[in-house]
Amino acid sequence: MSTRPGQAAAGADLAQLALDFHHTHQLLDPAAQGVQNWEVRITSAGTPVGSLSAVRGLYWKSDNLRERMVDEQSFPALVAAQLLDEAGRFTYEFEEFIESASSVLVIGRLQVEEAFADPLVVAGVVAAVIDRLTDSYFAVVLPAKNACTDAGSALLAEAGTLLSAQEFSDELQIIDNALAAPEEAAQRVRSRLHSLARHGGPAAWDEDDEEDEGWDEDGEEDEELTARTAAVLRVALEELSEHLWQDVAAVGDAPLGRGEGRVLGLLPPITFHQDQQWRRQMARCFDDLAAELAETGTVRPGCTGEEMALHLGIDRAKALTRNRPRLVAETVEGLGADRRDFDWDWCSTVLFEDHDVLMLFDASLDGIEDSGNEINQSLGLANLAAADWFVPFRPGQARDPDRGFRHS
């Protein structure tokens, strides 16, 4: 198959894809101890669009894993013949090929509708199956090009390549879960799928290429937050504000000790000796950004303190979408969905003029906040010293100086 990854799926609704895992275990069946058959159903908005079969071969639970997998026939039998000897032990060649696998996951049968018949989509499905059904002691076996007998196996072969599988033979390729490369490849696949789902085109495969193919950097519409993104970001900022005000009450003017402060401790070390008034102004940065989001649906940091607050807000919003799905669902209830929802990396790129403030976390750049610092001068940095964090970038657009504080 020669489809460019992401090309065939560009018109499909990838955001609605879901996987249903099905496995029936016969409690007293001795054959069920060594091999598990899993059927993974692929659905889009609840409608079946494909399926994938996976066989888990558990070496230490099998009487003879080779015989047991041969009994499954088809691709698992081919895998067993190449990876295991007659006594059911892994071959010398296989043990030399991998780090420490003690079990195998064999993925050899795929059916998928044409709209989703894309190597990138299949790689994303396979990566999810690997996450669900394996650990670091598994070797994942996929067909190589010479073992492809149909369109489904050809897609699996291309997916294996995208996931950094290595050719074991002319017919098999293997992903060694003990290595870092496959997980890094899986992360790239997920990132490209997110880009494809949100923007209608995948990001470039080269992880060093930051170009986002789906956006016109001069387009005004590209800089608008979606309603659901703005709502979750506002919740994140309000949560951080509440925690920071609690920090202010607890710490006061005292220097910040090791591990102290739910939010104060997240700031760069140059802020740890600031007084209570400085900390109150920092807390107000979160409040100002949340209020701007509520009023306008978007946000632009107006000083260094607000830049830091927004960075922390985006990080917290990303964590909420990963860890608090129920809270997020309640937050966005009634708001229209958009394929660009919750693209926090995009927010980090678009909502800032620069990321200079993040250099304050780099210990190797100690002193860079000083205007007399050589690096500071060469890069033309400004307002990085803690005393300057609340100086407006654009005085003509400064916030009302009489707006006060949320807490007295």
Tokens at residue 343, please?
Answer: 């693209």
Other Cβ atoms less than 10 A from the Cβ of 233: the count is 28
Which whole number is the average pLDDT over 34-61?
94
Q: What is the DSSP letter of 53?
A: E
- Kindly write down the DSSP assignment for every residue of 56-98, as one continuous string: EEEGGG-S-HHHHHHTT-HHHHHHHHHHB-TTSPBPHHHHHHS
**Whole-prediction pTM:** 0.69
| Residue 360 near residue 252, CB atoms below 8 Å | no
380: left (phi > 0), else alpha (psi -120 to 50), else beta? left
Domains and CATH numbers, the chain: 14-199 (3.40.630), 220-397 (no CATH)
pLDDT reported for residue 11:
54
Please determine, for residue 210, whether its predicted confidence score (pLDDT) is greater than 50: no
- 130 residue type, one letter: I
Q: Which residues contact 236 (CB under 8 A, 6 or more apart)?
A: 313, 314, 316, 317, 320
Distances (CA, A) of 192 to 95, 180, 202, 264, 336: 33, 19, 5, 35, 24
pLDDT reported for residue 209:
41
**Nearest of 50, 53, 19 to residue 39 by alpha carbon:** 53
Please determine, for residue 79, whether its predicted confidence score (pLDDT) is greater than 80: yes
Please determine, for residue 222, whether its predicted confidence score (pLDDT) is greater than 60: no
pLDDT band at 269 (very low <50, low <70, confident <90, very high): very high
Which whole number is the average pLDDT over 351-366?
93
pLDDT reported for residue 10:
56
Which whole number is the average pLDDT over 379-405?
93
Other Cβ atoms less than 10 A from the Cβ of 369: the count is 23
Please determine, for residue 303, whether its predicted confidence score (pLDDT) is greater than 50: yes
pLDDT reported for residue 233:
98
